[in-house]
Amino acid sequence: MARGLAHFSPSELRAQRTNVPPRPDGASMTAEELARAVGATKAQILAYENGHRVPDPPRLRALARALKVHPLQLMNLDGRKTWTLADYRRAIGLRAQDVVDRLGVSPKNYRRFENEGIVPSRSPRFLDQVVQAVGIPRQIVETAIDQTPAVQRRQARAADLVAVMAKRYIPRRGPWRGPALDDPNLIELAAAYSRPVQRLRRVLTYELGELRLSQVRAQREQVIAEYDTDRHRQASARHAQDRWCEVLERDLAGIPRRLEQFHRTAQPSDVWQLLVDLYNVDASARSDVGTWAVTSLLCEDRTVLSPYLVDQRVIDDVRVCRLSAQGAGHLQTFAGLYAALYPGVRRPLRPRGRATTKARGAGPETFTLPDRAERLAAPHPVLETARITATAAKTPVSMDLSPSYTLTVGASSLSVTSVGTLFPVDAVGRGSTLEPG
């Protein structure tokens, strides 16, 4: 059997060719007609349908195209939950070289990703590009990578290495320093993820530091349980101690999976800063129209923003963006790891309730375009810089939002100008006064 097409279904090919059961937009073909359509012989088609031969990926795509179906409809999909990315790639009729050509990367980098789940360290959007190249939903691609034997072996080995380091470093007295840079377990783990040892040390210093906090809390409850004279406090402390021990064990077991996910999707410091800036102005996916950040005020090159983490659209002719649901989850899940890697970068601000925000007059300032409900925001650093300049010069600062709109920032005001008309800022779109978002 040809490599990689073990999931090819002869019966599905015959059913699609004969249109049995009938498809609403389908039509039956003879084996000879299908052979002519794909540049094969009738004998080859019958050999495919009888299970004596299987088509290679280019022939599979040709068959699907002739039958007007997706290549996956010619596969046996019963076991697809265990398919690797290589299985999916071949099942949709692509060779590895086809994907390499679409990505414009070296065959070595793609093969390493497909066979080991290693994302090139200098390509933070590599996974997005693979998803686009193979035309499969991202969740399926990630699940398929998780099924790769090398990835599963790495996670199992990572669990052993992390457990050894946790046992060695967490109980140590004195200031928390994390794993030693020359620890052989750390060095092996860094090599497994193809990342610098210093980087892995920072990540594990954070992860093990969180476990250390759980252990300290468990030990504190243990002291109360053993020495407090009140039986009710003792019982409560024993319960709390058990709970913190469970948290420690759960979080320890979850570290290998977190490492895998983080190194697959981690963004460089400048892009992480952009995600934080979106979060800090509440530009996140919501059920209502919500808040969007003006892309040109956020970054000069919008292509650095991952389409998985950041939604982008155009309102009138103003390009805007906001964190997707996945982007907000990524930020909240890995904020501690990013802080450990990039200690000098701005951090996410803790959101406050709407009532509290309005009462205190805090929160992001937003504005709207005329006759539009969407609230727009400028990133905090941009707005603060413009305000300082406006105050010092005693004159408003203008920033282009698009060819049609300009944002004018005063010491304590915002306004949108279009074709010589001034629109006052209004967070709720009624054209009145400046309000916090």
Average pLDDT over residues 366-373: 90
Per-residue pLDDT band at 21 (split at 50, 70, 90): confident
Residues 160, 164: Cα–Cα separation, whole Å = 6
Across the chain, mean pLDDT equals 90
Q: What is d(CA 327, CA 419) in angstroms, rounded to the nearest whole number? A: 35
Phi (first) and psi of residue 231, to 5 degrees: -65, -35
The CA-based angle 62-68-71, given to 5 degrees, is: 55
pLDDT at 435: 39
What are phi and psi for residue 401, nearest 5 degrees? -95, -30
DSSP 279-304: HHTT-B--SSS-EEEEHHHH-S-GGG
Strand 291-294, strand 375-377: pairing = parallel
Give CA separation, 309 vs 130, 134, 228, in Å.
Answer: 15, 19, 50
What is the reported pTM?
A: 0.85
pLDDT-derived band at 356, boundaries 50, 70, 90: very low
Q: How far is CA 150 from CA 117, 139, 192, 213, in A?
A: 8, 19, 10, 32
pLDDT on residue 88: 95
CA 273 to chain centre: 15
Q: Give CA angle at 201 (196, 207), nearest 5°.
A: 130
Mean pLDDT of 74-85: 93
| Burial class, 307, CB count within 10 angstroms (exposed 0-12 / middle 13-18 / buried 19+) | middle
Mean pLDDT, residues 223-230 taken together: 94
Model confidence at 361: pLDDT above 70:
no
